[in-house]
């Protein structure tokens, strides 16, 4: 039996649409073992079948290595909510691939995991930080492997994470984003991506806040999150330096470097938005982990 732990991720980090992502200290745990028939526990009944993304990814990875599929018993225990912009699908994809390697004796490095996971997921912005840990800028050159630039994130930073009780599906969130942008907007974004990565590395809150001024996706996606304005005002008035939509939402993530401020803000958020889950997270530095039980 093996256990695989995969961190949640926050994609885009405001300014880095489809390029930046960061692993955070919220986790999904998966156990796998060979079995006589496929069984999946720990998730809603409608996902306890061969269409479960964990098992689909498991089978896809086996096929990539020329291995036949075989039945397994999978148990899923997760704190990462579905369709909230915290990379829940990426945790499933990464776990399935790692389990396929472990149960067939394949040795794969993290670059190979990123490659296969990107093929399954379609883009690396969530799977790369889930595998590598830290903050990651990723892109895929034409006819080449994904390229991932990993950044250490200052351990002083705290990410106050507000998870509303409603979903925003990525497919819907992509529909509201313009397919073409002016050159001036592209230039606006490029410098700020560099500012964001440097700010995260150094813990420079002023730089993070200055960089976090997106013009590509957040002005459109915030309309899909009814609580956006109220949560944003509460966070900024409560001591957070800036806030972004995590992935395509509905989760919102505010940033501070003061643990006391983060805790006071968490109390205030829970009072004002009792239906939302609120966490104080740090950047996960290890990425996906595997252990034999």
- The reply to whether 91 sits in an annotated binding site is yes
Q: Which residue has the higher pLDDT, 278 or 47?
A: 278
Nearest to 282 by CA among 11, 26, 13: 26
Where do the domains of the chain lie?
2-152+284-292, 158-281
* CATH number of 158-281, picked from 3.30.70.890, 2.40.50.100, 3.40.50.720, 3.90.79.10: 3.30.70.890
- The reply to whether 81 sits in an annotated binding site is yes
- The reply to whether 86 sits in an annotated binding site is yes
Give domain 2-152+284-292's CATH architecture: 2-Layer Sandwich (3.30)
Residues 6+ apart with CB under 8 A from 227: 162, 164, 250, 252, 273, 276
Task: Kindly report whether the global pTM for this prediction surpasses the value 0.75.
Answer: yes
- The reply to whether 84 sits in an annotated binding site is yes
Task: Give the mean model confidence (pLDDT) for residues 71-78.
Answer: 96
- The reply to whether 90 sits in an annotated binding site is yes
Q: What is the pLDDT of residues 239-259, one digit of tens each?
A: 999 999 999 889 999 999 999
- The reply to whether 231 sits in an annotated binding site is no
89 Rama sector, left if φ>0, alpha if ψ -120 to 50, beta otherwise: alpha
Task: Give the mean model confidence (pLDDT) for residues 107-113.
Answer: 89
Q: What is the pLDDT of residues 75-98, one digit of tens each?
A: 999 999 988 999 999 999 999 999
- The reply to whether 203 sits in an annotated binding site is no
- Outline where the chain has alpha helix (H): 53-64, 88-104, 110-121, 124-132, 170-175, 183-202, 205-211, 218-221, 228-237, 259-272
Residues 6+ apart with CB under 8 A from 193: 15, 16, 19, 20, 137, 211
Task: Give the mean model confidence (pLDDT) for residues 166-176.
Answer: 85
Confidence at residue 145, expressed as pLDDT on a 0 to 100 scale: 79
Omega before 159 cis (within 30°)?
A: no
State percent of the chain over pLDDT 90: 82
- The reply to whether 136 sits in an annotated binding site is no
Task: Give the mean model confidence (pLDDT) for residues 15-20.
Answer: 92
Quick check: 90 and 117 in contact, CB under 8 A? yes
- The reply to whether 59 sits in an annotated binding site is no
Quick check: 117 and 288 in contact, CB under 8 A? no
């Amino acid at each position: 039996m093996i256990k695989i732990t995969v961190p949640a991720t926050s994609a885009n980090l405001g300014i880095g649409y489809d390029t930046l992502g960061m692993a955070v200290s919220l986790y999904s745990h998966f156990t796998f073992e060979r079995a006589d028939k496929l069984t999946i526990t720990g998730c809603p009944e409608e996902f306890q079948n061969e269409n479960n993304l964990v098992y689909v990814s498991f089978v896809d990875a086996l096929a990539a290595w020329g291995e036949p599929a075989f039945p397994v018993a999978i148990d899923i225990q997760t704190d990462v909510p579905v369709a909230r912009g915290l990379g829940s699908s990426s945790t499933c994809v990464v776990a399935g691939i790692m389990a396929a390697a472990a149960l067939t004796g394949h040795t794969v490095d993290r670059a190979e995991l990123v490659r296969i996971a990107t093929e399954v997921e379609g883009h690396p912005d969530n799977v790369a930080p889930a595998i590598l840990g830290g903050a990651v800028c990723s892109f895929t050159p034409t006819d080449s492997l994904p390229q991932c630039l990993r950044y250490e994130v200052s351990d002083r930073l705290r990410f106050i994470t507000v998870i509303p009780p409603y979903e925003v599906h990525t497919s819907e969130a992509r529909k509201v984003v313009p397919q073409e942008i002016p050159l001036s907007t592209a230039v606006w974004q490029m410098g700020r991506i560099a500012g964001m990565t440097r700010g995260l590395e150094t813990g420079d809150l002023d730089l993070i806040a200055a960089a976090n001024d997106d013009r590509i996706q957040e002005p459109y996606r915030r309309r899909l999150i009814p609580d956006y304005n109220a949560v944003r005002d509460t966070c900024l008035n409560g001591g957070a330096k800036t806030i972004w939509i995590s992935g395509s939402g509905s989760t919102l993530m505010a940033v501070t470097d003061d643990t006391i401020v983060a805790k006071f803000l968490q109390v205030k958020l829970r009072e004002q938005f009792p239906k939302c889950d609120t966490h104080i997270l740090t950047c996960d530095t290890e990425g996906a982990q595997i252990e034999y039980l």
